[in-house]
Amino acid sequence: MGLFDDNFYSTKVTRRARKEKMREMPFRFGRTGNWSSLRIAAVSSLASAIVAVLLFTLVTGAGFGSNRSNGNHAMPVAATSGLSNDPLERTIQASAKVRPAVVSIINEQSVSGQLGLDDETDNPDDNPLEEAGVGSGVIYAKAKGKALVITNYHVVANADKVKAVLLSGETREAKVVGKDQISDLAVLEIDGKGIDTVAEIGDSSKLRQAEWVIAIGNPLGLGDSISMGIVSKTRRTIPVSLNQDGVYDWEMEVIQIDASINQGNSGGPLIDLNGRVVGINSMKIADFGVEGVGFAIPINDVMPIVEKLREKGKIARPYLGIYSIDLEQHRKQQKWLIEGEEETDEEAEVEGSDDLDEETIRVPDDVSEGIIVLEAVGPAKRAGLKFSDLIVKLDKQDVGSTLELRKYLYSEKKIGDSVEVTFYRNGEKMTTKLKLEERTDEEE
């Protein structure tokens, strides 16, 4: 079992003291070493004044908020913002500023769909809907009478209907404008009537470790709720399982925080003490004995994707055209089948992999990593790739897993580019070239 359980990526409800060393003041004594009472009094007064200023700074946070050019402050104070210098009061003001723009998201699905029944021939309107998951969102813009909401992809995934609950308790129908599984982001649209508050977008690049942040959302479906903590790490790369099958097939760049994040917080805003959104709360580590490890997508990464989703409804990425299983994962499955051990999520059978065996793929002894083709479609099929082919390189880049394959395609290639695929078929090393295409709706 990996570090991250599948549950952490779900919307369902489950389970200073600092010691300072004193330094000598750089005063030069007279030759006799004796000071007059007047000079002693003057120095004492000066020292007292300095101590008083330092104490005031530590207690109120003033001084950390001076507007330096880089904007990186543990507790920033914007003199023109009207915010108090009192940390407690600023926390209250910052959350009050954003809360009206935070909504609870309800994912409703048909009963048959939740049970995994085949209802393709049924009219979806005839199937009763039930609440399948809850999450959060934040209103970031208004346009043409509509309010636009940012949330997570996994909050609205597989929804037959989505609803948004305002701070007032009013429920409104929500339309999914666009969504993207790779970035785990989605944009919703609701009726903007009566909505006067739009969240202010901040700058996540100015965050510093130990800076105070506030998470607002709908944990466990309880509604409007606030938690507070610090930035544990401004940038961390973590592996995720997009299909929640225990196999890591993508990596996300996130902000690590120790503010409480629970199922239902997903999609809600992470804000700084100026009341600006610096991240979208996305996930946590859900494992026994783990506390205070949550993650948010940096807002500077969020907004470019959100604008594309608003414009086109999806993010176009280069598409190879294969359904696959990693060689390592396949071998774990075979070991489980042979030894009869208890199956884990990482060894869960992938559809189509039961027809594979070592004789079928005939992997050379010196090859330990690769991606086994279960089905080739689109560009891969036209290039001649077939079932059981073992892909080991794209161009001159080794790819030992689906994660590595995606990272190469999405970071180094674009739609319309050609790529050379090196693979093994029946133990023989072969190459083919194909042109990367945009994935169609039918292939989603």
51/331 Cα distance (integer angstroms):
67
Strand pairing partners for 334? none
User: In this structure, how many other beta carbons lie within 10 angstroms of the beta carbon of residue 249?
Assistant: 20
What single-letter DSSP state applies at residue 259? S
Is residue 330 flagged as an active site residue? no
Residue 397 corresponds to which tokens in the numbers above?
Answer: 């880049």
281/85 Cα distance (integer angstroms):
27
Q: Contact, 268 vs 259, CB < 8 A?
A: no
Indicate which residue of 180, 184, 272, 326 is catalytic: 184
Residue 438 corresponds to which tokens in the numbers above?
Answer: 């945009």
Is residue 266 flagged as an active site residue? yes
Which amino acid, 102?
Answer: V
What single-letter DSSP state applies at residue 427? T
User: In this structure, how many other beta carbons lie within 10 angstroms of the beta carbon of residue 386?
Assistant: 12
Residue with tokens 């946590």: 284
Q: What values do phi and psi take at 174, rounded to 5?
A: -120, 140
Is residue 184 flagged as an active site residue? yes
Indicate which residue of 204, 227, 266, 282 is catalytic: 266
Indicate which residue of 95, 104, 110, 154 is catalytic: 154
| Closest-CA residue to 81 (of 100, 102, 57, 97) | 97
Strand pairing partners for 104? 136, 165
Strand pairing partners for 239? 251
Q: Contact, 91 vs 214, CB < 8 A?
A: yes
Distances from the Cα of 372 to the Cα of 242, 361, 421, 426, angstroms: 18, 8, 13, 12
What single-letter DSSP state applies at residue 128? P
| Closest-CA residue to 388 (of 366, 373, 410) | 373
User: In this structure, how many other beta carbons lie within 10 angstroms of the beta carbon of residue 398?
Assistant: 12
Q: CA-based Rg of the chain, rounded to a whole angstrom?
A: 28
439 contacts: CB under 8 Å, gap ≥ 6: 316, 317, 319, 378
98/368 Cα distance (integer angstroms):
51
Residues classed as catalytic: 154, 184, 266
